[in-house]
Amino acid sequence: MTDEKTRFQGKVAIVTGASSGIGRATAAALGAEGAFVAITARRPDRLEEVAAGIEASGGRALALAGDVTDPDFRSRLVEETVARFGGLDHLVNSAGVIAFGTVENTTLSGWRRMFELNVEAIFDLMRLSVPHLLERGGSIVNVSSVNGMRSFPGVLAYNSSKSALDQLTRCSALELAAKGVRVNSVNPGVTRTELHRAGGLDADRYAAFLEHSRTTHPIGRVGTPEEVAGVALFLLSDAAAFLTGVTIPVDGGRHLTCAR
């Protein structure tokens, strides 16, 4: 039986979106289990905080600040991680944004920005990482959303981007299965992070959204980043050795609901 606290001892992981929310919680959890974690996001001060936490809990951290929509940065991220830690076992794609809009008022540039981060950057990081993951039989976890599995009005580009991501997860899982690399996703419901405020909700509207979310999530509350991170670590670990191409809702049952 693998010791839950040492599942990732000496394993090398890249975690995007590691300055906040689900990415931050996942990076911290990997570090606490002894992983070498390359953490990335645009805010260097935040990354330094996360890196200090990882080092304090027994892991090793490499903080690389940058924008994952920049192709040169993506190449540098993978190359520097492999150069520093000697290989790559895991990739966690958590960097993402939400934006609100309908088919009538979403602009073409807004649609493109959404896909550039939520889909294209992830595809390219997977593409760049796979040769290294193949060497070690590694695994990938993408952070999708219940919005990829269900349709909600008013978040058109976001929902579409997450559905595309789920298809990317499933197709690449099939392509890599026989080669020993697994690809899965977590599909969170509403989780308390910076996502919705960064996407444009002011404090009052966010508070009202969280309150309303108690009724849309059968368990009766929103999730925490740590709850999502726990499932992400399970999917990355050998305990999930026979799982690939799954998109696991971590959503208090929300994916089961229909308007009534």
Q: What residue ranges bind ligand NDP (CB under 6 A)?
A: 17-23, 41-43, 46, 67-69, 94-98, 117, 143, 145, 188, 190-191, 193-195, 198
For ligand NDP, the closer CB: 46 or 170: 46
At its nearest, how many Å lie between ligand NDP and the CB of residue 95? Answer: 4
Cβ neighbours, 10 Å, residue 3: 8
Q: Which of 24, 158, 172, 186 is catalytic?
A: 158
State how far the Cα of 184 lies from the Cα of 248, in Å rounded to an integer: 8
Q: Which is nearer to ligand NDP, 207 or 241 (CB)?
A: 207
Query: Nearest CA to 118 among 143, 100, 94, 96?
Result: 96
Q: Are 170 and 246 in contact (CB under 8 A)?
A: no
- Shortest Å, Cβ 27 to ligand NDP: 10
SS3 labels along 71-138? HHHHHHHHHHHHHHHCCCCEEEECCCCCCCECCCCCCHHHHHHHHHHHHHHHHHHHHHHHHHHHHHCC
> Which single residue is written with the structure tokens 């697994």?
182
* Amino acid symbol at 196: H
141 strand-pairing partners: 92, 184
C-beta of 133 vs 146, nearer to ligand NDP:
146
| Cβ-contact 67, 124 below 8 angstroms | no
Q: Which is nearer to ligand NDP, 177 or 219 (CB)?
A: 219
Q: What minimum distance in Å lies between the beta carbon of 46 and ligand NDP?
A: 6
Minimum distance from CB of 2 to ligand NDP (Å)?
Answer: 27
CB of 224 to ligand NDP, least distance (A): 10
C-alpha span between 184 and 143 (Å, rounded): 9
Closer to ligand NDP by CB, 9 or 224: give it.
224
Known catalytic membership, residue 158 = yes
Catalytic residues: 158
